[in-house]
Amino acid sequence: MLDYIRKLQDNIYLAEIPLKGNPLKAINIYIIKTDDKNMIIDTGFNTEEILDYTKAFIKDLDLDLDKTELFLTHLHSDHTGLANFYDDLGVKIRVSSVDEQILEESMEKEDPHWVLTQELGHMQGLDIDGLDIEDHPGFKFRPRKKFNFTPANPGDHIQVGDFNFEVVDLSGHTPGMVGLYDKEKSTLFCGDHILGKITPNIQFWNYEVGDSLGTYLKNLEKVRDLNIKHLYSSHRFLIDDVAERVEELKAHHQKRLDEAVNAMTKKDCTVRDITKSLQWDISAKNWDEFPKSQKWFAAGEAHAHVEHLRALGICDFYKDDDGVLYYYLTDKK
């Protein structure tokens, strides 16, 4: 067996594929192999190197692609980048209807998703940073064309060998992220919902999606209350104590919320101002040294936190003449 593949339990394998140059470091691709059906969960970025890793694990595990399905937990390019490779081979692809719609609207730079991303960057006060959507990892490593898909929406059931999975709603990280839960086997494939050591990026998507952090926290509680012995997440190490990790993630976000409130006690703040005031686990010494590609994600996360505070009635915003948002604590006005 290849050195980046390991067997986790009967019929379940993990291929840990490097994401070179990305702070995520690697992605955990899961493969369920049974006599009558196989399932691959997520893909990695759309790069030649990751494609080579993918072809190698398919060969090493002797996967018959005629009886293999691909399950995409969510729309991010490190999970969907190679969807076209599988589609071209006739592999059935499952993804939630919500995230698939966003994917369809993000194939080209001029498509609605990327136009909205740039508009949000302006509203967040990021124009001064000179960001280009072509530097955004989600754009650089995306699928290049639309692909055939079968909806996998919360409440659906998928049988893979003796696994009876229910598709569960894990939205928050993306508007339509889903996982695969087998209650009898106490097993959950959770995508980026709960990660070891690092925290999933929760970003503000738009005002239609609304309070993404609130949604995420609600779905954290839901997963904590499930009977889970095997939690299979998409990055870093596997987690043994789900309840403990959920409490750590909740504490992390409360700290972020407190930092945002503290920033707004001093002045009315743009999202960029608040982003700069938060503590980030990154080698950059200050905001100016942040990689431009990561400024998109950092500002999106800060925006999600202030929008959660706004949903709680703690803050509100106004727009200046240029359409930039300024947030303020409601008890100051």
Q: In a 3-state reduction of DSSP, which class is residue 247?
A: helix
> How do residues 213-267 score in pLDDT, each as one tens digit?
999 999 999 999 999 999 999 999 999 999 999 999 999 999 999 999 999 999 9
Mean pLDDT of 307-317: 98
Tokens for 153? 């929406």
Determine, yes or no, domain membership for 319: no
**228 located within any domain:** yes
pLDDT digits (tens, 9 = 90+) for 96-151: 999 999 999 999 999 999 999 999 999 999 999 999 999 899 999 999 999 999 99
- For tokens 């493969």, what's the residue? 31
Segment 55-76 mean pLDDT: 98
Mean pLDDT, range 266-286, rounded to an integer: 92
Binned at pLDDT 50, 70 and 90, residue 284 comes out as: confident
Q: What share of the chain is helix, strand, coil (3-state, %, to 5)?
A: 40, 20, 40
Longest pairwise C-alpha distance within the chain:
65
Asked whether residue 235 is domain-assigned, the answer is yes
- 258: tokens are 């407190």
Check whether 333 has a pLDDT greater than 60: no
Q: Phi first, then psi: give them for residue 156, nearest 5 degrees.
A: -70, 155
Binning pLDDT at 50, 70 and 90, where does residue 282 land? confident
Domain that holds residue 122: 5-261
Token pair of 94, please? 């499952």
**Is it the case that residue 195 has pLDDT exceeding 80?**
yes
Distance CA 226, CA 19 (A): 31
Using pLDDT thresholds of 50, 70 and 90, give the confidence band for residue 332.
low
160-169 pLDDT, tens digit per residue, is 999 999 999 9
State the pLDDT at residue 197. Answer: 87
With bands split at pLDDT 50, 70 and 90, how would you rate the model's confidence at 285? confident
Q: How many domains does the chain have?
A: 1
136 is a domain residue: yes
Percent of the chain at pLDDT above 90?
A: 93
Q: Tell me if 148 is assigned to some domain.
A: yes
Residue 130 inside a domain? The answer is yes
DSSP secondary structure code for residue 16 in this structure: E
Domain assignment present for 81: yes
Amino acid code (one letter) for 207: Y
Close Cβ partners of 228 (under 8 Å, ≥ 6 residues apart)? 186, 187, 188, 242
The pLDDT value recorded for residue 273 is 97
With tokens 């966003």, the residue in question is 102
Please state whether beta strands 150-151 and 92-95 pair in parallel, antiparallel, or not at all (unpaired).
parallel
For residue 63, pLDDT beyond 90: yes
Determine, yes or no, domain membership for 129: yes
- Are residues 29 and 41 in contact, defined by beta-carbon separation less than 8 angstroms? yes
User: Over the chain, what is the mean pLDDT?
Assistant: 96
Quote the radius of gyration of the chain (alpha carbons, Å).
20
CATH of residue 25: 3.60.15.10
* Predicted local confidence at residue 185, as pLDDT: 96
CB-neighbour burial class of residue 127 (10 A; exposed 0-12, middle 13-18, buried 19+)? middle
